[in-house]
């Protein structure tokens, strides 16, 4: 069980899947049984068809509620559907088209700041994770909430929110005793009394690690309240010109507040739910996108032929257009799209998700398995309370679906028709026959937002810069989100490895 959730135990997952296949039982703590699954048919039932049986675990929901408030991550059933109904229009393609100029304005600042660090004719080592984290936060700040976190100047101080959200998962998962508390004691302790009483208990407990996490959550909550109040004031001010707001009034929160004002009583979200969406979106969108971008830059540094081909495509596109690329032109770049798809397939930022059986259920399988007593079965009885580990990583790499080269990073696979086995597998994900953004009613609502971020960043950076390995061995840690560090990276003050991605950066030579 410890290896299953260890940030350095990813080889253990590979061993389990290679040994036992698409579905198997893993013994947990205190006699608990966990089901490990990456069978596509089973996943369809888990995330689409039988969500009334298989839902987020109580532990996850309680943790999400305590940290982020009653947002999308912390709600289920009718509350979740009501919130999602209100939020979906703000993430439409129409809205993404309107948001594209805002994104370009941010990435031009990023590119100029990196330019200031690079020496003409030479190369310099730069921590690209730090820049991707700052950039992703500013993108979601302006695009999501009409709020600026960061000037993206080279010597600008890091916004406290950026450090807080970057360190939250690694801090939470890096302390075994704290993980134990979260998983097994949270129901009793964190539902005891009023929020004010629970806060007093946390303050009184002489536990440094718990207080560090408390402080991180305070920063996130305080910033969310500030963003919400600012957006609400601007919308209620009859003399306010929303077009002069950061992001031109096209941000997600402005759209949501407008829709909420005209919504029916049963659909309307109260202020506490609106505030909760802010922390939820930043947490769900910033860390995943920044680490996905870091992974792509790392892959490009190791595959110069792919980087050169991508640079040629984006450079030719910019030469044909006066200024920045519009949304449709950007999404028409086939090789850029292929690089993004292949990277998200092979290296999903979220390695897995957890579900819990709320009642007894039967889970069908797409391929039969052999039980320990030698029987062949095509379905599994799942008792109430069973935790289910859905491996996004292994579903995306299944050889029977993607072919014998499934574990290889090959963007070219997307430049030709995919094998029929991909469609035949009926993977229930909402994006390109993979589970990276999940599927069903809890699929990632902001996946189009994330794709736009990634394509704008990559198109502008790869056009100007060449990325190469620094010589330091990069390791990827599974902290809930897969994050980069280096083999000999020192420990931070919070006791976990420093998160960074050192790459050598130089100016790209004109084609």
Q: Cβ distance 302 to 506 under 8 Å? A: no
Taking phi over 0 as left and psi of -120 to 50 as alpha, with beta for the rest, 441 belongs to alpha
Residue 299: CB partners within 8 Å, gap ≥ 6?
A: 306, 343, 347, 409
Cβ-contact 337, 314 below 8 angstroms = no
Segments of the chain with pLDDT less than 70: 1-5, 29-30, 166-167, 169-193, 195, 198, 237-245, 247, 492-495, 511
Q: Which helix (H) or strand (E) holds 34?
A: strand 33-37
pLDDT at 193: 64
Q: Cβ contacts of residue 431 below 8 Å, gap of 6+? A: 344, 437, 447
Give the sign of the dihedral formed by CA 174, CA 179, CA 180, CA 185.
Answer: positive
Residue 111 and residue 311: Cα distance in Å, rounded?
15
Going along the chain from its start, the domains and CATH numbers come out as 2-507 (1.10.630.10)
pTM assigned to the model: 0.90
pLDDT of residue 283: 83
Tokens of 103: 């994104």
444 is in an annotated binding site: yes
Residue pair 400/393 in contact (Cβ under 8 Å)? The answer is: no
Q: Encode pLDDT of 22-61 as tens digits.
A: 999 998 766 778 999 999 999 999 999 999 999 998 878 8
Question: For residue range 65-122, what is the model confidence (pLDDT) as tens digits?
Answer: 888 889 999 999 999 999 999 999 889 999 899 999 999 999 999 999 999 999 999 9
On the CB side of 324, CA atoms within 13 Å amount to 19
Judge contact between 158 and 133, C-beta under 8 A.
Answer: no
Q: DSSP secondary structure string, 272-312?
A: HHHHHHHHHHHHHHHHHHHHHHHHHHHHHHH-HHHHHHHHH
Instruction: List helix spans (H) across 303-382.
Output: 304-320, 327-331, 334-346
The predicted structure's pLDDT at residue 166: 66
Q: How far is CA 13 from CA 18, 53, 80, 116, 341, in A?
A: 9, 26, 31, 42, 23
pLDDT confidence of residue 161: 79
4 C-beta neighbours (distance < 10 Å), count: 16
Rounded Cα–Cα distance for residues 137 and 283 (Å): 9
Task: Return the pLDDT at 178.
Answer: 47
* Pairing label, strands 465-469, 123-127: unpaired
Angle subtended by helix axes 447-464 and 271-302, to nearest 10:
40
pLDDT at 184: 43
Greatest Cα pair distance in the chain: 74
Helices (H) and strands (E) in the chain, counts: 21, 12
User: What would the two tokens of residue 375 be?
Assistant: 């029987």
Compute the C-alpha angle 435/441/443, nearest 5°: 35
């Amino acid at each position: 069980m410890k290896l299953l959730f260890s940030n350095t135990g990813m080889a253990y997952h590979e061993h389990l899947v290679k040994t036992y296949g698409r579905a198997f039982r893993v013994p947990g703590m205190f006699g608990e049984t966990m089901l490990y699954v990456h069978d596509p048919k089973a996943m369809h039932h888990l995330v689409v068809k039988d969500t009334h049986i298989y839902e987020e675990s109580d532990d996850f929901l309680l943790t999400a509620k305590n940290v982020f408030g009653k947002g999308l991550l912390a709600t289920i059933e009718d509350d979740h559907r009501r919130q999602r109904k209100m939020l979906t229009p703000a993430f439409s393609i129409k809205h993404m088209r309107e948001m594209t100029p805002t994104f370009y304005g941010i990435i031009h600042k990023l590119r100029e700041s990196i330019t200031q660090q690079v020496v003409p004719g030479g190369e310099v080592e730069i921590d690209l994770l730090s820049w991707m984290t700052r950039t992703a936060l500013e993108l979601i700040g302006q695009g999501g909430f009409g709020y600026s976190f960061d000037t993206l100047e080279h010597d600008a101080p890091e916004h406290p929110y950026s450090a807080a959200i970057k360190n939250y998962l690694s801090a939470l998962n890096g302390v075994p005793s704290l993980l134990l508390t979260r998983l097994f004691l949270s129901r009793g302790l964190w539902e005891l009394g009023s929020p004010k009483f629970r806060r007093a208990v946390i303050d009184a407990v002489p536990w440094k690690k718990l207080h560090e996490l408390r402080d991180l959550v305070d920063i996130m909550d305080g910033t969310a309240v500030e963003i919400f109040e600012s957006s609400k004031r601007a919308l209620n001010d009859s003399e306010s010109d929303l077009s002069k707001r950061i992001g031109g009034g096209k941000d997600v929160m402005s759209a949501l507040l407008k829709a909420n004002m005209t919504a029916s009583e049963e659909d309307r979200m109260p202020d506490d739910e609106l505030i909760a969406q802010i922390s939820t979106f930043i947490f769900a969108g910033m860390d995943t996108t920044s680490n996905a971008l870091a992974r792509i830059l790392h892959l490009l540094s190791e595959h110069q032929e792919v980087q050169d081909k991508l640079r040629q495509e984006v450079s030719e596109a910019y030469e044909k257009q006066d200024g920045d690329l519009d949304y449709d032109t950007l999404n028409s770049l086939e090789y850029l799209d292929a690089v993004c798809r292949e990277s998200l397939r092979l290296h999903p930022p979220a390695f897995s998700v957890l579900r819990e059986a709320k009642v007894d259920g039967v889970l069908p399988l797409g391929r039969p398995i052999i039980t320990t007593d030698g029987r062949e079965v095509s379905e599994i009885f799942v008792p109430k309370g069973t935790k289910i580990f859905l491996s996004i990583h292994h579903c995306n790499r299944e050889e029977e679906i993607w072919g014998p080269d499934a574990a290889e990073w090959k963007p070219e696979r997307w430049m030709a028709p995919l094998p029929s086995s991909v469609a035949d597998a009926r993977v229930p994900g909402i994006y390109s026959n993979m589970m990276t953004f999940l599927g069903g009613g809890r699929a990632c609502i902001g996946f189009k937002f994330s794709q736009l971020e990634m394509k704008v960043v990559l198109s502008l950076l790869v056009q100007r810069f060449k990325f190469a390995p620094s010589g330091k061995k990069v390791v990827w840690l599974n902290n809930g989100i897969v994050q980069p560090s280096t083999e000999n990276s020192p420990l931070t003050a919070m006791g976990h490895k420093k998160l960074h991605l050192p790459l050598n950066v130089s100016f790209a030579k004109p084609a």
